[in-house]
Amino acid sequence: KPVQHEPPAVSGLKHPVDCFVRSRLKETGLAPALEADRATLCRRVFLDLVGLPPSPDELAAFLADESADAYGRLVDQLLASPRYGERWARRWLDLARYADTNGYEKDRPRTIWPYRDWVIKALNDDLPFDQFTIKQIAGDMLPDATVDDIVATGFHRNTMLNEEGGIDPLEFRYLAMVDRVGTTGTTWLGLTTACAQCHTHKFDPITHTDYFSLMALLNNADEPEWIIPSADRDRRLAEAAKRAELLWNQLPEQWPVPGRPGAKQLAAGSSEPGQVVANEGRQLVGLAERFDAWLRKETARAVAWKVVLPEAIESNMPHLVPQPDGSILGSGDVTKSDVYTLTLPASEQPVRAIRLEVLPDASLPAWGPGLCYYEGRKGDFFLSEFEVSLPLKQTRVEVAKATDSFEGKAFAGKQKAGASAAIDGVMSSGWSTNGRQGTAPEVADQVKEIERLEAAERQGLSTLVLRERPGDNPRLTHRHHRGEFLSPEEVVPPAVPSFLPQLPAHAKADRLALARWLVAPDNPLTARVVVNRHWHALFGRGLVETVADFGYQGSPPSHPELLDWLAVTFMTPVEQGGLGWSLKSLHRLIVTSDTYRQSSAVTPAAAERDPDNILLARGPRVRLEAEVIRDSLLKAAGLLSTKMYGPGVRPPQPAGVMEVAFGKPKWDESQGEDRYRRSIYTFRKRTAPFAFTTTFDGPTGEACIARRDVSNSPLQALTLLNDPMFLEIARAFGETIVQVAGSDADRMQELSRRLLSRDFSAEEADQLLEYLKSQRQRLAEGTLSATELMGVADSGQQDLQQLREEAAWMLVARVVMNLDEAIVKR
């Protein structure tokens, strides 16, 4: 458990962070650096808190403010900006392995951006981190859970989803659980829990059983695609239901239209024994005559279909629950070899036929009628065999014929999946439907309108969430030998790792208990891990360098007392003098310290004795993340859109990137302001990530990432020079800078203030002015084409001089954009 250390007394210092850091420096004989100049400090704190540089006006306003609290008020202004949530949400989404596609081979799109938007809003609202945690792990289980609480559970729906043919859905659900256990361990505990999947951890006290007990805490949730309620949708649904009811009442009573309220017409009903009457959901010619004959015959016999409630229901995997209308609703996991056994009571009348109906339901994938999710059409089913037997006589009844009103195709190939295939004794064949229902021609128009109205109930903004399973149908978790899906051993109880404080004795061991345990005051890891990760984000190195590993293989803390003090202060309620789990307050505490405000210039003594700045004798100097680089350049060029939230957008990127993805999907470039929105809103495809982000070490969303790699390669410079996005940015600079009043020198300084948040030195300005002169000459001589550089068609002679001037400044902007200083926080 973190210990509350009192900050050491250091003469002249009041800030607790500085007291801890300077005390350590004093022990080693290193002197702290001077404070960074105000322009550098302004740019640094802008980049850190909102992920954008200051505009020339914002920089000038800060430099002109000579009051003692000018910097503190600037920090408060940035913390209150909506840009804050966008900047810090991107770092959290690295941990959440967020992406807009399913992953694996097909990597189809998914709708989960409402979760991304929830993270941005939560951070802007400064939702305390303990609540931020609980809502993401178990928001659906909170009393009176709100829509936002449920959307927040998308954190653990960011796992990849395999939709390839021939898979075992339970195997890939198991792999998703493996991902969730590892992600939970990395994000909150700072432990390599994934190492215990196959065996007891070789270094940390996490047993093989502990691993699967932790999995059991997360394993009792179903994974629906949830339509997000809204007042507008409720209004539209009420109108649609009223109109649909009116149309239903106008339908002729003799027609067995699927879905008639109170009539339960059967999707597997037959209009004539031994005759298939539907093909792919389309009625065949002559149906009316055959139906009339059948109806007269059945009426004469005075025998009606009767819904029979089973006395007993058995299933090897899915949970089957009788419904008030006599139907049986399935839920939970499915395999390709599930067996459903329904025991019906003896009938006083002869049973001549059994009629099976499959129905849609809001709880089923894509509304059903089946439970299929991973393979084939969502909501499909496949009935391999339909058998009837008399248990008391141990006699199997032969089914003479099987007919259907609706048939589909088998999961593989073009083979039909008709009812007769469900009684042929061949397990590889069977009955399914194609997701459409046949309709008699005479009522087709009305039924089509009804279906359109009822489809409104299935429309609306959806997202992926977790939903706890019913208490009477818990999912058991087994220990898997060597971590192999095919080697389940004994059932393990849900529990936290045995070497850590345990769940409260009165608490039910479930996801909600786990979420609350993670942020409990006696948890020794979560607060330390979180404050260390945010220290790393601000300084480029954590107090514990291995931000994802606080175990025995991780690095020891450079300032253990400071780490504990920050952790305890972070957890302590505000009324007791702490931060109350507030991330904004944590950031304010750190960035207002003298330690953060130091110059990043390296002295010879510091370079020799502390080259990695472990002792914090100078300020941070870190290469910016991919998204911050792009967003910063867009803002500097005057292009950045401040539009927030919504589906992912597709900015320009080099042609051919999507060629590597399955099906070679098109990358339809966004237009208008969507083209220039912040990078957090860029559509993220796992198998073909946005090219620029990959070049600058951005994650793919396939795994939880606590710390990005930082590479330096020639491709990065070439990208800033030639990527379509950055050519557009450079052109925007060319068009903007020529509008600046004054001399070339004045314009050059404007470019510097926009891109570097400072003025060029006299030497720098002279070199760039000489370069500008040479480019003007090349454009005048025709060595360079202004129209090609500016991406426009040939213009008349009257506009050519203006275009050449813009092109010359566009070339200068490309040079400055490629300066190390433009993509580095210092």
Condensed to tens digits (0 to 9), the pLDDT of residues 297-321 reads: 655 554 567 788 887 888 877 788 8
pLDDT class of 34 with cuts at 50, 70, 90: very high
Q: Is 314 helix (H, G, I), strand (E, B) or coil?
A: strand
Q: Which H helix or E strand runs over 221?
A: strand 221-222
What pLDDT sits at residue 352? 75
What pLDDT sits at residue 552? 95
Q: Report the distance separating Cα 566 and Cα 532, nearest Å.
A: 9
Q: Which residues of 651-671 are buried (b: 16+ CB within 10 A; e: fewer)?
A: bbbeeebbeebeeebebeebe
Read off the pLDDT of residues 239-273 as tens digits, 9 standing for 90 and up. 766 766 666 666 555 444 445 443 333 333 333 33
Angle between helical axes of 797-817 and 744-756 (0-180°, round to 10):
40
What pLDDT sits at residue 423? 74
- Identity of the residue numbered 272: E
pLDDT class of 280 with cuts at 50, 70, 90: very low
Read off the pLDDT of residues 217-234 as tens digits, 9 standing for 90 and up. 999 999 999 989 877 767
Query: Got the DSSP string for 753-781?
Result: HHHHSSPPPHHHHHHHHHHHHHHHHHHHH
pLDDT class of 452 with cuts at 50, 70, 90: low
Residue 580: pLDDT above 60? Answer: yes
Could you give the angle at the alpha carbon of 235 between the alpha carbons of 232 and 239, nearest 5°?
A: 140
What pLDDT sits at residue 329? 85
The answer to whether 578 and 569 are in contact (CB under 8 A) is yes
The structure tokens listed for 778 are: 């090349």
Tokens 């479930």 correspond to what residue?
510
The answer to whether 18 and 559 are in contact (CB under 8 A) is no
Q: Which H helix or E strand runs over 343?
A: strand 340-343
Q: Which residues of 85-113 are buried (b: 16+ CB within 10 A; e: fewer)?
A: bbbbbbbbbbbbbbbbbbbbebbeebebb
The answer to whether 794 and 711 are in contact (CB under 8 A) is no
What pLDDT sits at residue 434? 62
Q: What value does the mean pLDDT take over residues 743-769?
A: 97
Residue 743: pLDDT above 70? Answer: yes
What is the overall mean pLDDT for the chain? 87
| Percent above pLDDT 90 for the chain | 66
Closest to 214 in 3D by CA, of 184, 251, 187:
184
Please tell me which residue, 742 or 364, carries the higher pLDDT value: 742
